[in-house]
Structure 1
Amino acid sequence: MLTLAQDTPELTWLNVLIGLGFIAFDSALSLVMGLGIGGSLMVAAGRCILQLSVMGLILDKVFASQNVWGVVGIALLLNTLGAFEATYNKSKRRFTNMFPLILCSMLSGTVPISVLGTRFAMSQNPFWRPDQFIPIIGMILGNAISSIGIALNTVSKEFSENKDKIETYLAFGASRFEACKPVGVEALKLSLLPTVNQMSVIGLISIPGMMTGAIVGGKSVEQAARLQMIIMFMISASSALCVLLALFFALTTLVDTQCRIRSDRLDARKPVFYRARDSVLEGVWNGIKKLKFWGRNKGHGSEEERRGLLDHQHN
């Protein structure tokens, strides 16, 4: 019997270019209307192409090797890159030791749930089968990054703009847990709202990618639906656990054991490597402008000299 996977045409870079055309259209529309999102869309699309191309090359070798240590290495790499993204790209402000703390939060929230979920909920033996485990931990991390970013941006905004409410609680004798609880609860609710909304409409309004992939791969619709349920439950639980740990680390950093708000531990500047990049690019641009200015002055001087010589000859 011919499966859907056999009927699926092989995609080429031309197909990718056609898909990229949709992003290019949105970017052009943004430029015409002055919306200011065109550059972000194109940069994100470029990162998507580069990252997926590299990941495809790496995963192809890992899938072929069926090596448990290759899977462990990929899982650690994905968590490290996820912590970097959440710390330096998704967060507008950073607190002291944020990167290692977020990495710890993500490892604690993604690895146990992905291992237990694939082994028992999905009945995979061994649980580390690369073609099953790596895509699942990747999906879990993708949602965890977004949730952590929302939660930490909410917390940093409160401590930067509305810290008087927290100070009032502390002034009236509240512990740092009691003073920070309203901020933490609000941040947790906001961060999990997209995941909860997605889980509530899945199957009724949207058909998710994992279910579609399973159907295309030859599974029955019923089996694909059950697989998607398990994946969504793992994503939601992992995101909640990652956010809880990240909030704990953030709030205990920004309010110390003496119940003092430590705004000095919150940094709104760009990361140091981005500042260094901007400095280098600014220096290069200034050098280009100086070269242009020097060339223009040289041209003008030559023209003035020629005019002076002509006037002198004429006289």
Structure 2
Amino acid sequence: MDSPSSGHGGSPDLQWQNVALALSFVAFNAALSYGLQLGVGSSLITAAARCVIQLTLVSYILERIFNTNHPAAVAGIALLLNVLAAFEIVANKCKMRYPRMFFVVLAAMTLSTIPVSIIGIRFAMSVNPFWKPEQYIPIVGMLCGSTISNLVVSLSFVLQELNENRDKTETYLAFGASRFEACKPIAKSALRLALTPTINQMSVLGIISIPGMMTGAILGGSSVIQAARLQMIIMFMLSASSALATIISIVCTLAICVDGQHRVRAERIDCRPFFLWRGAAIVGRALKSAASSACFGHRGKEKGTEREPLLGSP
């Protein structure tokens, strides 16, 4: 097979056979998992299949958006990325959930990735207008991907503490602490735990590892110095977005799971799989609505019925 020819900007012109060759690395990992009975072979194959399908679809979508070059299309893709990221966190990544968790995660994602991306691209990267699709969409995607990991770590820790290790929090509350005072140690530990990978990643950049954004810029034809500066800006944006989203999600989660009466509401935390959890919630709302309708309907019938006099008519 011929080697890939040089494409735009000196980058190789990759074909599907090149992807198939790279897929052999995943096949090797799956075979190794099967041989050692690790039980992750099917997960590897599923993840690889999702990677191929999702990247193929998004490449066609982004190509059309890049050609339109319209801010509404860019805003729609940015919002879609945040919605999908929030759904991924709630449905697949977190093992425990609580009511309105999707909206909390979506708000945390949107309020962190959108402002940070706009400010970073417009001022730090000096791109005008900031919504240029080839600049804005990849960076928002990177911010969403990084923020997912931080939110999963922080939310899983908070929910586990409130569900399984809530004795300490309830002790604080019993001795007169407010819910904010009682939950402060949990919030600090969750934030520290979530930001540790980002701190470690920044500390080893350039010495131990060359990050993907810098590698892609170099392969795309940028100078090494410009690629390094771009990577610095991206990393600082990632750290800001991750910290902001983590803080918002932790505060909202604690406010829901520890109510205004300063009680730990462990019953609001559900450990069932996502679809069972959503199915139970839908059935519960339907039964509640049906019971309410039946109750009010019965009362309406009683009101419409003329009462019999206590004493007989003369």
Common fold by TM > 0.5: yes
Counterpart selection for 2:68 from 37, 46, 65:
65
Does 1:84 find its partner at 2:87?
A: yes
Kindly indicate whether the alpha-carbon contact (under 8 Å) linking 2:173 and 2:179 is maintained by their aligned counterparts in 1.
Answer: yes
CA distance in structure 1 between the partners assigned to 2:11 and 2:248 by the alignment = 42
Runs of 4+ in 1 over 6 A off after TM superposition: 273-276
Secondary structure of the residue aligned to 1:95 is coil
Matched residue type, 1:145: I
Q: After the TM superposition, which residues 147-166 of structure 1 pair with which residues of structure 2 at under 5 Å, given as runs?
A: 147-166=150-169
How far the C-alpha of 1:274 sits from its partner, in A, is 8.7
Counterpart selection for 2:223 from 195, 220, 226:
220
Kindly indicate whether the alpha-carbon contact (under 8 Å) linking 1:95 and 1:266 is maintained by their aligned counterparts in 2.
Answer: yes
Q: Quote the sequence identity (%).
A: 54
Does 1:99 find its partner at 2:97?
A: no
Does 1:144 find its partner at 2:147?
A: yes
Counterpart selection for 2:117 from 103, 110, 114:
114
Number of equivalent positions: 274
* Alignment-derived partner of residue 19 in structure 2: 16
* Alignment-derived partner of residue 284 in structure 1: none
CA gap of 1:40–1:54, structure 2 versus 1, over 3 A, is: same
Kindly indicate whether the alpha-carbon contact (under 8 Å) linking 1:86 and 1:145 is maintained by their aligned counterparts in 2.
Answer: yes
In the alignment, structure 1 segments of 5+ residues that lack a partner are 277-315
How far the C-alpha of 1:8 sits from its partner, in A, is 2.7
Alpha-carbon RMSD: 1.5
CA distance in structure 1 between the partners assigned to 2:58 and 2:104 by the alignment = 25
Instruction: Compare 135-144 and 24-33 and name the one that shifted more.
Output: 24-33
Counterpart selection for 2:257 from 254, 271, 280:
254
CA distance in structure 1 between the partners assigned to 2:218 and 2:277 by the alignment = 43
CA distance in structure 2 between the partners assigned to 1:16 and 1:258 by the alignment = 57
Matched residue type, 1:261: V
CA distance in structure 2 between the partners assigned to 1:4 and 1:38 by the alignment = 35
CA distance in structure 1 between the partners assigned to 2:144 and 2:8 by the alignment = 27
Does 1:126 find its partner at 2:129?
A: yes
* Alignment-derived partner of residue 239 in structure 2: 236
How far the C-alpha of 1:22 sits from its partner, in A, is 0.6
Matched residue type, 2:209: S
CA distance in structure 2 between the partners assigned to 1:191 and 1:20 by the alignment = 31
CA distance in structure 1 between the partners assigned to 2:182 and 2:276 by the alignment = 35
* Alignment-derived partner of residue 185 in structure 2: 182
Kindly indicate whether the alpha-carbon contact (under 8 Å) linking 2:270 and 2:277 is maintained by their aligned counterparts in 1.
Answer: no
